[in-house]
Structure 1
Amino acid sequence: MMFFIALTFVFTTFSGGAPADSITLDYCYQQAYENYPKVQNIEFQKKITELNIQIANTGHYPDVSINGRASYQSEVTDFSLPGGGGPPAISKDQYQASVDVTQTIFNGGAVGIQKELEKAKGKQEIYSTEVELHQIRSQIDQVYFGILLSQQQSKTIGLLIANLEEQLSTVRSKVDNGVLLASQQHILEAELIKARQDSVNSHSNVVAGYRVLGELIGEKVATGTKLQLPQQNIDHQSLQPHRSEYDLFESTEETIEQQKRLAGSQKWPSLSAFGTAAYGRPGLNFLNDDFHEYYTVGLKVRWNFWASYNAGEKQQMLQLRQQQVEQNRRSFTRQLHASLNRIQERMRAIEENIERDKKAIALRKKIVEENVSQLNNGAITASQYVTELNRAHQARLSLYINRVRLAQAQSDYLTTLGVPIQ
């Protein structure tokens, strides 16, 4: 199965078995594939295909039927001669028990074609299911990285709260001693309340994210479980698309091709041998009114004019369907390449922003350190200090967010390619 078959490609990531206290993105992919209910449809379809092939194969076997009939008729042919004599009268009650056997000798290879058609249809259903399963991988990406972003937001908010509490303690002491106005203390207290509210909301998002992730992968994931950030070096030149959609296009074309062959077989007459073994009265000799055995054997040719006439038009219609599939393949490829180009551009922009974030953090750190001293000396207000502290907080948060977004963009790139899990 193309989506989850191992394939050697040039990138590194955390993979393999997950420790009890941490999981990887690849582990989530694997668990989702193993536990998602619709995965069972693949095995069901394989069994359905096997049964359909067995049913189609019975077309090689003779058609056997057992028949019985009893009837009474109001009159029969009378062979009596004027004045008496002649053959005995035929009974008005008649009986027949027979075994009829028909063996197809030639029908344009329809049975073999039907078996190949069932195989192609089975593959088509399997790949259709795998296309749906691919969407789960995209959902896991969104939830997994959403949790990482919310967790980092909680951490940075925690640092902000700790910093505010520390400065609030210092300012409160100075207010009590009459060095600073009480309004400076109130500003820090209000900002601390807001930060704690943000912390509650962020923690709620994390808890909800773990719950959704557990639903997707089919197992409970504790809120404290560490999600490892994938570290991926993508070689854009060596990676090629391995989407299940291409397998679906190919199997659809194969299904149509077998349908064309089956339609072509209808152009030819069918030849079959038949035989009937019967017991009853009257038999083939209706003048013999005794119960007795009899049989018939022969060959039969059947040619359906309209079926033969319409076969060519069916093939033309199926040819047009194949062209539709090819156009859909081209459209999908164009959209896929467009998506990959957009993701590459997004990765490039995020990498540039990460470098800017590092410079901004260094500058904001110096500014906050200077403001701490100025606040304690009464040179700036608490409001000014909080403003700079928030800016430093946002710079740290922006750096991690961009790192997570870069990892998410890289995973989106691999997911869009359909690169299998190692």
Structure 2
Amino acid sequence: MKILKYLFLLLFFSGNAQTLTLEECYGLAKQNYPLIKRHDLIAKTKEYNLQNAAKGWLPQIQVIGQATYQNDVTQLPLKLPNLTMDPVSKDQYKVYADIQQNIYDGGMVANQKKIATINSEIELQKTEVETDQLEMRINQIYFGILQTDEQLQQTELIKSDLSSGLKKAEAQLENGVIFRSNVDVLKAQLVNLEQKKLELQFVKKSFLQMLSLFIQKNLDETITLVKPEKILIKDENKRAELKLFDLQKLGLEQQKSNITSKNLPKLGAFFQGGYGKPGFNMLKNEFNIFYIGGLRLNIPISGFYTKKNDLALVETQQQEIEVQKENFLFNQQFQTIQNNNELDKTQQLINKDNELVILRESIKTASLAQLENGIITTNDYLREVNELDRAKNQKITHEIQYLLTQYNLKAQLNQ
């Protein structure tokens, strides 16, 4: 009955154990990264800019008031009999509204809308570049926890081996075959293992706290991180920076269109109407209503002075972005070669680790039997246990390093 009870409890806690995958960590980290709040701000900025650009088609209205005094006014140079004409006052007043309505703007409003949209996409992509870099930071923490967990498990296995040796040594001590110092050697090593276990537990605790900060989720030491499988890395670069370079070039291309639009003729309607002294009739020296309306054609000539240089400047900026892109791809290719060579080297080391662990296991098993039969001392046995421990820890390090390099390469290529 007790056995059934323990099995039930084991199944219960196993079924309720909290697990976490690397992909889940990626998603939570990006979702809770403070920089993600920029998305809403960028969307609002885009909307405001588009609305402002669209208002370029609304009538542009000004109300102007003016009071002047001039030293002379226009007068007729002759006098006619029976006709008296008062000269226009030297103090003059007027208040009027000036209304301008675009009919053809050379594509300025359309270009401003496109520039606003592209600038918004550029800012979003900059945010994407930074959030993508989170994956490599998460990798360091996640695989650090996995390595610590496996080292803790290895510590327990070595502790079991030493305990087995200790039991046999204590039996020999009781029979007077060995000295107490031989037993103390194994006990001291067990204390060392407890110290190592404490260090590893604190390292894991630190890693878990860092991971909790990134994913905004409380993690305790009972959490189980799922060990990722080895993956196949494709020769395909999907880094967010590449799209950012393309968007920046597209934004500059739109600036070229804007330069061309600024130098195209503009057609608009206008209307001015107001109240003043005098009105448009200069011979009538009194306050009166006046208005004028019509069409206005504006052909910018001075813009052609700098158009060629302005376009050349934008072209230079596009070439600079292309150089940055080539440099980025070069560095990416260089890092990919390094990582691939590191993967090949680590895999070969893992193969040798497997051979070494098998040999060390065999030697340790044989040395335990030799210890029991009094052929070797506890120091000899301890040496073989430590060599096995070193071989297994080396294998753990290489296996985790292989996975870390793979997933860093995956993050590097944004696959």
- TM-score, scaled relative to structure 1: 0.87
3-state SS, counterpart of residue 158 of structure 2: helix
* 2:365 aligned with 1:369: yes
The answer to whether the Cα contact below 8 Å between 1:229 and 1:404 also exists between their aligned partners in 2 is: no
The answer to whether the Cα contact below 8 Å between 2:103 and 2:267 also exists between their aligned partners in 1 is: yes
- Any residues of structure 2 matched to 1:246-257 within 5 Å, and which? 246-257=242-253
What residue number does 1:16 align with? Answer: none
CA 1:190–1:55 in structure 2 vs 1: closer, same or farther (change >3 Å)? Answer: same
What residue number does 1:380 align with? Answer: 376
**Residue segments in structure 1 that go unaligned for 5+ positions in a row:** 1-18
* 2:176 aligned with 1:212: no
* 2:269 aligned with 1:273: yes
CA 1:348–1:281 in structure 2 vs 1: closer, same or farther (change >3 Å)? Answer: same
Amino acid at match of 2:354: K
Tell me, in whole angstroms, the C-alpha distance in 1 between the residues paired with 2:300 and 2:72.
37
String of CA shifts for 1:303-354, please: whole Å, max 9, x gaps.
Answer: 4544321121011011111111112212222222222222222222222222
3-state SS, counterpart of residue 289 of structure 2: strand
Identify the range of structure 1 (333-342 vs 118-127) with the bigger mean alpha-carbon deviation.
333-342
The answer to whether the Cα contact below 8 Å between 2:54 and 2:113 also exists between their aligned partners in 1 is: yes
Tell me, in whole angstroms, the C-alpha distance in 2 between the residues paired with 1:103 and 1:188.
95
What residue number does 1:51 align with? Answer: 48
Q: Deviation of residue 112 (structure 1)?
A: 1.3
What residue number does 2:121 align with? Answer: 123
The answer to whether the Cα contact below 8 Å between 1:275 and 1:298 also exists between their aligned partners in 2 is: yes
* 2:394 aligned with 1:398: yes
The answer to whether the Cα contact below 8 Å between 2:61 and 2:98 also exists between their aligned partners in 1 is: yes
The answer to whether the Cα contact below 8 Å between 1:242 and 1:418 also exists between their aligned partners in 2 is: yes
Tell me, in whole angstroms, the C-alpha distance in 2 between the residues paired with 1:83 and 1:154.
122
3-state SS, counterpart of residue 418 of structure 1: coil
Q: Deviation of residue 171 (structure 1)?
A: 2.1
Amino acid at match of 2:243: D
The answer to whether the Cα contact below 8 Å between 2:249 and 2:318 also exists between their aligned partners in 1 is: yes
Tell me, in whole angstroms, the C-alpha distance in 1 between the residues paired with 2:310 and 2:73.
51
CA 1:214–1:192 in structure 2 vs 1: closer, same or farther (change >3 Å)? Answer: same
Tell me, in whole angstroms, the C-alpha distance in 2 between the residues paired with 1:22 and 1:367.
37
Tell me, in whole angstroms, the C-alpha distance in 1 between the residues paired with 2:99 and 2:201.
76
What residue number does 1:101 align with? Answer: 99
Q: Deviation of residue 302 (structure 1)?
A: 3.9
Amino acid at match of 2:390: Q
CA 1:313–1:79 in structure 2 vs 1: closer, same or farther (change >3 Å)? Answer: closer
* 2:329 aligned with 1:333: yes
String of CA shifts for 1:68-96, please: whole Å, max 9, x gaps.
Answer: 34x36487649697999732354566442
* 2:64 aligned with 1:67: yes
The answer to whether the Cα contact below 8 Å between 2:92 and 2:277 also exists between their aligned partners in 1 is: yes
CA 1:252–1:228 in structure 2 vs 1: closer, same or farther (change >3 Å)? Answer: same
* 2:131 aligned with 1:138: no
CA 1:157–1:391 in structure 2 vs 1: closer, same or farther (change >3 Å)? Answer: same
**Residue segments in structure 2 that go unaligned for 5+ positions in a row:** 1-15
String of CA shifts for 1:377-418, please: whole Å, max 9, x gaps.
Answer: 332222221111011112222333333222222212211110
3-state SS, counterpart of residue 87 of structure 1: coil
| Count of aligned pairs between the two proteins | 398
Tell me, in whole angstroms, the C-alpha distance in 1 between the residues paired with 2:251 and 2:39.
18
Tell me, in whole angstroms, the C-alpha distance in 2 between the residues paired with 1:362 and 1:78.
115
Tell me, in whole angstroms, the C-alpha distance in 2 between the residues paired with 1:72 and 1:95.
6
Amino acid at match of 2:134: I
Tell me, in whole angstroms, the C-alpha distance in 1 between the residues paired with 2:124 and 2:53.
20
What residue number does 1:192 align with? Answer: 190
Tell me, in whole angstroms, the C-alpha distance in 1 between the residues paired with 2:361 and 2:374.
20
Tell me, in whole angstroms, the C-alpha distance in 2 between the residues paired with 1:379 and 1:406.
41
Tell me, in whole angstroms, the C-alpha distance in 1 between the residues paired with 2:194 and 2:334.
43
3-state SS, counterpart of residue 287 of structure 1: coil
Cα RMSD, aligned residues only: 2.5
CA 1:158–1:388 in structure 2 vs 1: closer, same or farther (change >3 Å)? Answer: same
Amino acid at match of 1:351: Q
Q: Deviation of residue 46 (structure 1)?
A: 2.1
String of CA shifts for 1:250-292, please: whole Å, max 9, x gaps.
Answer: 1000011011111222333433332201122221223323332
3-state SS, counterpart of residue 218 of structure 2: coil
Tell me, in whole angstroms, the C-alpha distance in 1 between the residues paired with 2:376 and 2:117.
79
Tell me, in whole angstroms, the C-alpha distance in 2 between the residues paired with 1:194 and 1:85.
125
Tell me, in whole angstroms, the C-alpha distance in 2 between the residues paired with 1:322 and 1:47.
28
Amino acid at match of 2:166: L
CA 1:280–1:378 in structure 2 vs 1: closer, same or farther (change >3 Å)? Answer: same
What residue number does 1:322 align with? Answer: 318
3-state SS, counterpart of residue 180 of structure 1: coil
CA 1:125–1:20 in structure 2 vs 1: closer, same or farther (change >3 Å)? Answer: farther
Amino acid at match of 1:178: G
String of CA shifts for 1:340-379, please: whole Å, max 9, x gaps.
Answer: 2222222222222222222222111111111112223332
- TM-score, scaled relative to structure 2: 0.88
CA 1:240–1:116 in structure 2 vs 1: closer, same or farther (change >3 Å)? Answer: same
The answer to whether the Cα contact below 8 Å between 1:269 and 1:301 also exists between their aligned partners in 2 is: yes
What residue number does 1:34 align with? Answer: 31
The answer to whether the Cα contact below 8 Å between 1:147 and 1:206 also exists between their aligned partners in 2 is: yes
What residue number does 2:227 align with? Answer: 229
Identify the range of structure 1 (34-43 vs 340-349) with the bigger mean alpha-carbon deviation.
340-349
Amino acid at match of 2:41: F
Q: Deviation of residue 127 (structure 1)?
A: 0.6
Tell me, in whole angstroms, the C-alpha distance in 2 between the residues paired with 1:209 and 1:107.
60
Structure 1: which 4+ aligned runs deviate by more than 6 Å? 80-85
